[in-house]
Structure 1
């Protein structure tokens, strides 16, 4: 049976979408190659998680939506994610349509590019082609191949040499409708000694059997600094697959701050490749599992450059019958002398039926390095509960305080106040 028959879309639909958006021929070729590879490749092999029964390909990829002229015209779900009175740079994508896009004129004068992927392919095609899919290969597995075939949006962010973007740049991605898909490809390039913060949120409206399949590629130049923060609050009707990857040149810094607040099944892989001397990576992530949700969350750093350093902190709270697998992988390659990699995975269990596995992994091929890991899976400290209750606080309130205190060191790092507040609200919602 052919791939076209198995799926809810075919090569003709992909070609039609590509031509309607005036995409260059090389990008359409990449799409069709991705479709072919999707029929040949296997799903990624995940630690203690089988996803072959999940919805990863039963979607209709090109649902359109109406564009709006101003932030005030966005739907309430999206407006709740941004400060509508002050935001100047914002991209909003709903299903397969960029419904709103704005860029501060001051950034344009500095040479910063912040635009949707379709526009970038037309106006900055050579630059996009230079970097696209050179860190996340579409042939890695079936999910990346599907992403390449039906990518229906995303953005291109380019920061020139020596430019510091002082205000975080924001994007909101929404999926809504029966068998809808949001499939953005985010490409960030920070040239030498530049600095930028990018923040996105993922939300879902009404609908069933929805899918999110996103890729983020980041290129951190020498001496550059990039911070990416992402909060995902998708419903249980959405199966979410995200693959984020960065490569960092000498003296560069990459920082990830991730809030996995989905109600549905989730796969996330976050990898940083420290290529340059004295390159640096920091990854902080939190997640909350509820109901019968399944999560497989991987943070990984590959040390290639000498004197490179990494720190990974992952925290999860598990309730009901939820299952969460936290994988931390530090790989220090031969020749990465004086590298230092530290990681910690901590899971707090709130239910007898919930399950959490913390898997710290160190892979070291060089002698002159430092590396360490810590992992814990446990329940409430009854002593802490008793102490708070002795101060007149109910047990339920005491539990909530402990949970929020457990997660807040990561929440506090979110660089945009509105997003930070929404993450705290998502925590309140998930914890009941």
Structure 2
């Protein structure tokens, strides 16, 4: 159980800078619920065994006025003109072009949005993810800080990707960003979300939530790339509510070094709604990565596809949970899912759990799952043509992950994901090869 001392602060300390009363009431609701709720029960993972200690102090940085005044260490990770950067517990900068401002687009930190656009934020905040779902969501509702609010008005199409960057670089720091995306009817946007750390001693927990609301005929693309260091635990919920003929496309890279739990869900409410979800993860060391991808179909003629690909090294463990649920009345639905785990070490573990829950007759649904090691015949074929074993294994792994990595829409973010894959695959290469050769 996490943040016990934080939960005893009292509701008088829950109010952040000049926030509206309704938000303080919601924080108090989360604090009260946290006293009675339990940690979520995960498939083959006991969160009670993870060191979920108190989050730490709320540390907000001094804002910078312009992108070129960002510290050099941060500037190198910014790849878009329309960007929000959070450092530790609060916003460092938010930049939106004049052209998008004139079209009514909003990009700001969530605390500011709650003050400036209270009715708009109140209508959506903690509506896709409910406060009282479990202990983690209740704690988040009570103690989140900073975050991002992205609003796209009806009929507006944002051509270039927008970016949010959440960085923790101080120990003993509250790190609970909340991203809220609202895309009105017939609008479109692509968001690249980065969560990362830079700490000498990285002990802590990231409890993050992303809520995405896709209006009728709207399209939202979300790229979510997490790269937290070994002693940081990542607990993330991502959830989209999709209306009539709306579409949400997820592209997720779980590149953390430490324990990871993520739950990404698309709720297809409207007729003709669609979801495409692609996730890659690379495990190393002794880390456990429990990854859940869910699609719930309620609208007729809705469609979904999910692909999860995991590469596990050393003694790492992957638990992949793919869940497709088709509700009564969702006729004409088509839901497909695939989970594949490639293990590069005899002690690596993989568990793929495809689940179909169907309560309607007139539907199409299917799943596929595989867990295995590098095909020795492929290795032999490539090595017979002069390719070293190390390079052959590398090419096979990149081919395994390529269908996801190649789809990152922002050039800088794509290079970042590629570099992270190479880093996680390369840091234990010699040990793995020696073990496999045995």
TM-score under structure 1 length normalisation? 0.95
Partner of 2:347: 353
Question: Corresponding residue for 1:195?
Answer: 188
Contact 1:56 1:143 in 2 (8 A): no
Structure 2 Cα separation of the partners of residues 75 and 285 of structure 1: 31
2:314 counterpart of 1:320: yes
- Note if 1:62 corresponds to 2:58: yes
SS at match of 2:341: strand
Matched, 1:331 2:328: no
Residues 135/176 of structure 1: CA separation in 2 closer, same or farther (3 Å cut): same
Q: 1:127 aligns with which of 108, 120, 145?
A: 120
Rounded to whole Å, the distance in 1 between the matches of 2:179 and 2:247 is 18
Corresponding residue for residue 245 of structure 1: 239
1:167 equivalent in alignment to 2:156: no
Tell me the residue number matched to 2:204. Answer: 210
Match of 1:18 among 15, 19, 26: 15
**CA shift for structure 1 position 389:** 1.5
Per-residue deviation, residues 119-163 of structure 1 (Å, max 9, x unmatched): 101110010001111110010000001111110111111111111
Aligned to 1:178: 171
Corresponding residue to 1:99 among 81, 92, 103: 92
Q: Is the 8 A contact 1:231 1:423 kept in 2?
A: yes
Judging changes above 3 Å, is the alpha-carbon distance between structure 1 residues 135 and 392 closer, same or farther for their aligned structure 2 residues? same
Per the TM alignment, residue 391 of structure 1 is displaced from its structure 2 partner at its CA by: 2.4
CA distance in 2 between counterparts of 1:71 and 1:420 reads: 21
How far apart in 2 are the matches of 1:61 and 1:276? 42
- 1:226–1:255 Cα contact (<8 Å) kept: yes
Residues 289 and 3 (structure 1), Cα distance of their counterparts in 2 relative to 1, 3 Å cut: closer
What is aligned with 2:304?
310
Query: What is the CA-CA distance between 1:64 and the residue it aligns to?
Result: 2.4
- The CA distance in 1 between the partners of 2:12 and 2:252, in whole Å, is 34
Please tell me whether residue 222 in structure 1 is matched to residue 216 in structure 2.
Answer: yes
Q: Which of the numbers 111, 114, 122 marks the counterpart of 2:107?
A: 114
- What secondary structure, in the 3-state scheme, does the structure 2 residue paired with 1:23 have? coil
What is residue 76 of structure 2 aligned with on the other side? Answer: 80
CA contact (8 A) 1:231 1:261 kept: yes
Is the 8 Å Cα contact of residues 78 and 172 (structure 1) preserved in structure 2?
no
Q: Where does residue 45 of structure 2 map in the other structure?
A: 49
Q: Residue 273 of structure 2: which of 275, 279, 296 is its match?
A: 279
Counterpart selection for 1:143 from 130, 133, 136? 136
CA distance in 2, matches of 1:335, 1:266: 35
How far apart are the structure 2 equivalents of 1:430 and 1:201?
Answer: 17
Q: Is the 8 A contact 2:341 2:350 kept in 1?
A: yes
Secondary structure of the structure 2 residue equivalent to 1:7: helix
Q: Kindly indicate whether residue 150 of structure 2 is the aligned counterpart of residue 153 of structure 1.
A: no
Change (3 A) 1:125 1:57: farther
User: 2:5 matched to 1:7?
Assistant: yes
Aligned residues: 425
Please list the CA deviations of residues 324-368 of structure 1 after superposition, one character each: whole Å capped at 9, or x if unmatched: 100000000010001000000000000111101000000000011
Cα drift, residue 17 of structure 1? 6.1
CA contact (8 A) 2:53 2:204 kept: no
Residue deviations 1:171-208, cap 9 Å, x none?
Answer: 11011222223211111111111001111111101133
Separation in 1, partners of 2:181, 2:12: 26
Q: Name the SS of the counterpart of 1:52 in structure 2.
A: helix
Instruction: Give the unaligned 5+ runs of structure 1.
Output: none
- 1:69, 1:53 → 2: CA distance? 43
CA shift at 1:381, angstroms?
A: 0.8
Structure 2: 5+ residue runs without aligned partners?
427-438
Matches of 1:15 and 1:171, distance apart in 2: 30
Match of 2:364 among 370, 374, 381: 370
- What's the CA shift string for 1:258-278, capped at 9, x where partnerless? 000000100000000111111
Per the alignment, residue 393 of structure 2 pairs with 399
Aligned to 1:243, the other structure's residue is in SS state strand
Q: Cα offset for 1:67? A: 2.3
How far the C-alpha of 1:61 sits from its partner, in A, is 4.3
Computed over aligned residues only, the root mean square deviation of the Cα atoms, in angstroms, reads 1.6
Measured in 2, the distance between the counterparts of 1:339 and 1:244 equals: 23
Deviations 1:357-389 (A, max 9, x none): 000000000011000000000100111111221
Specify which of 358, 376, 383 is matched with residue 377 of structure 2: 383
